[in-house]
């Protein structure tokens, strides 16, 4: 297995003025092609530090991939440092000079300056990586022992094109990388991570290719199937039986795969069954309606909602009786159910979801602490409710209540067993 | 000048499944406090590689800051490795155990497992950094020669709070960081970045300390004042006259400073003036109501809203006449104003904001393209509307419409000159 390190170069990275998206992009491409990334580093525009870093990195693997420091200005020193580490002097690379000149002419320049000429110098013997989106070409310089340093520009758009179109094919050829990593991710809600672990532990331990990984998110658990294969058809054939097995074991908790979202699944489910949906939100303030409207095509099944923040609105627009609020409190099972019933009627919906809770920081009590949220559900012949006390601050509670509310709605819609606390 | 390196730990970083925002956040905090970041590294959940990395990093500076690998599972190995590098064994830290137990009890667990107990072990002599947002505490372990390794969890929200509230003060004390960078950021809406540039260009060119920077965001322009000073009182004295000058030049467009948000300013303004607020949203789907409810204390001025996604809801809950929708279309000045008037009446609000638009991908026409949004405003004796066509895809349009809608509401509330297009 080929092994590389990634070195991103630029003082702005060390000042925190830029988030290093290049390193993540390269890392993903390497993972997809079965190349092991041993470590990632960032270093400033400082030739001594860069040289120290590259000299150490190249010893630990087959090569190093760098970004940044290939521009025309005086602090762009990557090429000089790489030449020194590799032990190959810089020489003028005629096709690169022609490309730089052609590019400058396109922008209306008639003379090429010394700075731009510098961009056409390359370590002797390097493979040049053309830059379709910018002036600085990249290169792969190879040391006597076969180890390499590949250098690309730091501008993400230029780097990505050069990586995908030039460097990855170079690596595939060089290291005979015939296998890429293909993934499929199953999304589950309403089943605790520990429960999923219990049900698939033996697969997790024994499967090698494809292998599986479990990742917990807020209110959702992902099970990722990763296959190393020569092409996507071969990968599909390897993934399909594992997916089948996982679906049997995890069961109804799985609501979608890959880019599918819970709100998208709800919209698809309601649309397919001809069900109109409505919401009545207090503590979530419109966040659940907003998630549903995020889905293109939501208008086929979403009537709308009422953000009943004030109790007067719960009464006026949802028909919740003042007596119910007085007797049980606004945050109660009874009010959650009355809100859901009211939303169903007033919005002419078949199915309605309601939330009422205490997001804090104020408003909590011993009985009803900050974080308590009641969810109500109303459909033909059915009204139900359940409560959860979410940890965290105001926005944590509200965000978790949106995710849980969508879970709750989806589980009721698909009539599966009672959810475990999210 | 203190010098540190940053090491972020986690196999997902090397697989490119995560962009390393933690490293950038830490780097910025170091830059703000005059600490030199010599390099940044990422390494997988592999104790040998981590140990090799930490042993090299600690030699190059005064200390190392790590994130990740402090969780309860078997692949969280940061603490063991740091203990080995520092030369201090792990011991049970009673206050941390109590904190972990208290947290688990809040989640309803009665027994604490071995995994969670592990989180309460610390290198002997380490300064423990409490975690207000999660279960894993951090720590600073100090080697015999005074060099340190500070370890924080990898969850960004937990890491950021721990860095800002615990580790930075520790570093300030330890390295007597007397010249820190203090900033104050003025937020402006309704004034184009180029117009702000024009008004403050001379200050931008001539000021050295404090200096200023202009940063454009979606629908908002920030002007940042940065002072290098020995303490916050000295910084305040340097910043105040510059802030005064900027306020005079930029004028009414400035709605807040630092952590103040537009929705927070709206809530404060309405509460101070005793105005009740309501919303009627179609294209924004509850996003504006949700932004307002985000503000703690919103209940003092926010009645609620109607998410009138379906035209039937615009009629039933907001009293928009079917004839108005037929004649002008749901996305029109007339309907936006009728929705705002309806929300004001039905929600018993003093002031109401309405949105109706076409987020796409379908539904656009030559007359009314995807991206067109009408905003309506209703108050005592005033109804008005304006439209904007936002670029981008469905979520871009919706997000921009939320920001613009809040701008629109705030400008109407404070009766300032007509806004320029956002």
A248 upstream amide cis, omega within 30 of 0: no
What pLDDT shows up at residue B74? 65
What pLDDT shows up at residue A396? 87
Are B290 and A292 inside 8 Å of each other by CB? no
Question: Quick one: average pLDDT of B79-100?
Answer: 92
Nearest to A78 by CA among A129, A121, A26, A17: A121
Q: Does A19 touch chain B (CB under 8 A)?
A: yes
Contacts of B21 in chain A (CB under 8 A): 19
Q: Does B35 touch chain A (CB under 8 A)?
A: no
Question: Quick one: average pLDDT of A187-216?
Answer: 85
Which helix (H) or strand (E) segment holds residue A343: the answer is helix A333-346
Nearest CA in chain A to B31: A15
Contact (Cβ atoms closer than 8 angstroms) between residue A255 and residue B249:
no
Topology given in CATH for the domain delimited by B3-174:
Molybdenum Cofactor Biosythetic Enzyme; Chain A (3.40.980)
Are A290 and B292 inside 8 Å of each other by CB? no
pLDDT in tens, B157-185: 899 999 999 999 999 999 988 777 788 99
Residue B309, token pair as written in the block = 């996604």
Exposure pattern of B173-212 as b/e (b: 16+ CB <10 Å)?
A: ebbebeebbbebbbbbbbbbbeebeebbeebeeebeebeb
Q: With pLDDT > 70 as the criterion, what percentage of chain B qualifies?
A: 97
Q: Report the DSSP pairing between strands A127-129 and A138-142.
A: antiparallel
User: Where do you find CATH 3.30.70.2860 in chain A?
Assistant: 180-257
Question: How far away is chain B from the Cα of A248, in angstroms, using its nearest Cα?
Answer: 27
Residue B343, token pair as written in the block = 């929300």
Question: Quick one: average pLDDT of B239-262?
Answer: 92
Q: Provide the number of CB pairs (under 8 Å) joining chain A to chain B.
A: 229
Question: Quick one: average pLDDT of B262-272?
Answer: 96
Q: Report the DSSP pairing between strands A277-281 and A36-43.
A: unpaired
Question: How far is the C-alpha of A274 from the C-alpha of B398, rounded, in Å?
Answer: 26
What pLDDT shows up at residue B177? 82
Question: How far away is chain B from the Cα of A400, in angstroms, using its nearest Cα?
Answer: 13
Question: Quick one: average pLDDT of B319-328?
Answer: 96
Return the CATH superfamily for domain A262-413: CinA-like (3.90.950.20)
- Mean per-residue pLDDT over chain B, rounded: 90
Q: Report the DSSP pairing between strands A277-281 and A351-357.
A: parallel
User: Where do you find CATH 3.90.950.20 in chain A?
Assistant: 262-413
CA dist A35 → A65, A110, A357, B45 (Å)? 12, 44, 49, 17
User: Where do you find CATH 3.90.950.20 in chain B?
Assistant: 262-414
Q: Does B379 touch chain A (CB under 8 A)?
A: no
Topology given in CATH for the domain delimited by B262-414:
Maf protein (3.90.950)
**Range list of β-strands (E), A144-245:** 148-152, 180-188, 211-217, 220-229
Strand order in the sheet with A211-217: A211-217, A220-229, A180-188, A254-257
Question: How far is the C-alpha of A399 from the C-alpha of B157, rounded, in Å?
Answer: 14
What pLDDT shows up at residue A419? 41
Q: What is the pTM of this model?
A: 0.73
Of residues B338 and A11, the one with the higher pLDDT is: B338
pLDDT in tens, B29-79: 998 888 999 999 999 988 999 999 999 999 999 999 999 998 777 667 999
Question: Quick one: average pLDDT of A125-152?
Answer: 93
Q: Which of A136-140, A216-220, A351-355 has the lowest mean pLDDT?
A: A216-220
Contact (Cβ atoms closer than 8 angstroms) between residue A335 and residue A360:
no
Residue A38, token pair as written in the block = 């041993």
Say if residue A18's pLDDT is above 70.
Answer: yes
For the domain covering B180-257, report its CATH number. 3.30.70.2860
SS3 A421: coil
Q: Does A217 touch chain B (CB under 8 A)?
A: no
Nearest CA in chain B to A395: B294
Tell me, rounded to whole angstroms, the distance of Cα B127 from its chain centroid. 29
What pLDDT shows up at residue A196? 87
Question: Quick one: average pLDDT of B406-422?
Answer: 70
Residue B241, token pair as written in the block = 């006259």
Question: How far is the C-alpha of A341 from the C-alpha of A306, rounded, in Å?
Answer: 12
Q: Does B306 touch chain A (CB under 8 A)?
A: yes
Q: With pLDDT > 70 as the criterion, what percentage of chain A qualifies?
A: 98
Say if residue B422's pLDDT is above 50.
Answer: no
Q: Which of A129-138, A264-273, A281-290 has the lowest mean pLDDT?
A: A129-138
Nearest CA in chain B to A361: B296
Question: How far is the C-alpha of B232 from the C-alpha of B227, rounded, in Å?
Answer: 10
pLDDT in tens, A237-273: 999 999 999 999 998 789 999 989 999 999 999 999 9
Question: Residue A112 has what DSSP assignment?
Answer: -
Q: Does A16 touch chain B (CB under 8 A)?
A: yes
């Amino acid at each position: 297995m080929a092994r590389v390190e990634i070195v991103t170069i630029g003082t702005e990275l060390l000042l925190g003025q830029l988030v290093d998206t290049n390193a993540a992009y390269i890392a993903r491409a390497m993972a997809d092609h079965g190349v092991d990334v041993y470590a990632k580093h960032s270093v400033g525009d400082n030739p001594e530090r860069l040289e120290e870093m590259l000299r150490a990195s190249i010893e630990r693997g087959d090569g190093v991939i760098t970004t940044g420091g290939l521009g025309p200005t005086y602090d762009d020193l990557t090429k000089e440092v790489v030449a020194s580490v590799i032990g190959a002097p810089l020489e003028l690379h005629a096709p690169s000079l022609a490309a730089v000149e052609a590019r400058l002419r396109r922008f209306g320049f008639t003379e090429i300056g010394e700075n731009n000429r510098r961009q056409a110098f390359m370590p002797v013997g390097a493979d040049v990586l053309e830059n379709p989106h910018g002036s600085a070409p990249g290169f792969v310089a190879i040391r006597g022992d076969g180890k390499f340093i590949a250098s690309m520009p730091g501008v993400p758009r230029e780097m990505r094109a050069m990586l995908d179109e030039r460097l990855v094919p170079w690596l595939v050829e060089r290291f005979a990388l015939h296998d890429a990593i293909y993934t499929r991710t199953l999304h589950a809600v309403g089943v605790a991570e520990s429960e999923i672990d219990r049900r698939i532990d033996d697969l997790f331990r024994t499967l090698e290719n494809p292998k599986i990984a479990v990742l917990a998110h807020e209110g959702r658990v992902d099970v990722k199937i990763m296959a190393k294969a020569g092409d996507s058809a071969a990968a599909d054939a390897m993934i399909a039986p594992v997916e089948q097995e996982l679906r049997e074991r995890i069961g109804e908790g799985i609501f979608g795969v890959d880019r599918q979202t819970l709100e998208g699944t709800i919209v698809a489910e309601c649309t397919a069954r001809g069900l109109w949906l409505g919401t009545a939100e207090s503590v979530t303030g419109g966040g659940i309606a907003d998630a549903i409207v995020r889905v293109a095509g939501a208008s086929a099944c979403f009537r709308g909602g009422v953000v009943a923040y004030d109790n007067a609105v719960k009464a006026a627009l949802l028909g919740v009786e003042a007596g119910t609020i007085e007797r049980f409190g606004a945050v109660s099972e009874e009010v959650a159910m009355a809100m859901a019933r009211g939303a169903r009627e007033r919005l002419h919906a078949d199915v309605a979801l309601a939330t009422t809770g205490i997001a804090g920081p104020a408003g909590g009590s011993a009985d009803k602490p900050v974080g308590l949220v009641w969810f109500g559900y109303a459909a033909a012949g059915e009204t139900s409710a359940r409560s959860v006390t979410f940890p965290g601050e105001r926005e944590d509670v509200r965000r978790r209540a949106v995710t849980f509310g969508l879970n709750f709605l989806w589980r009721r819609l698909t009539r599966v067993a009672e959810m475990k606390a999210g």
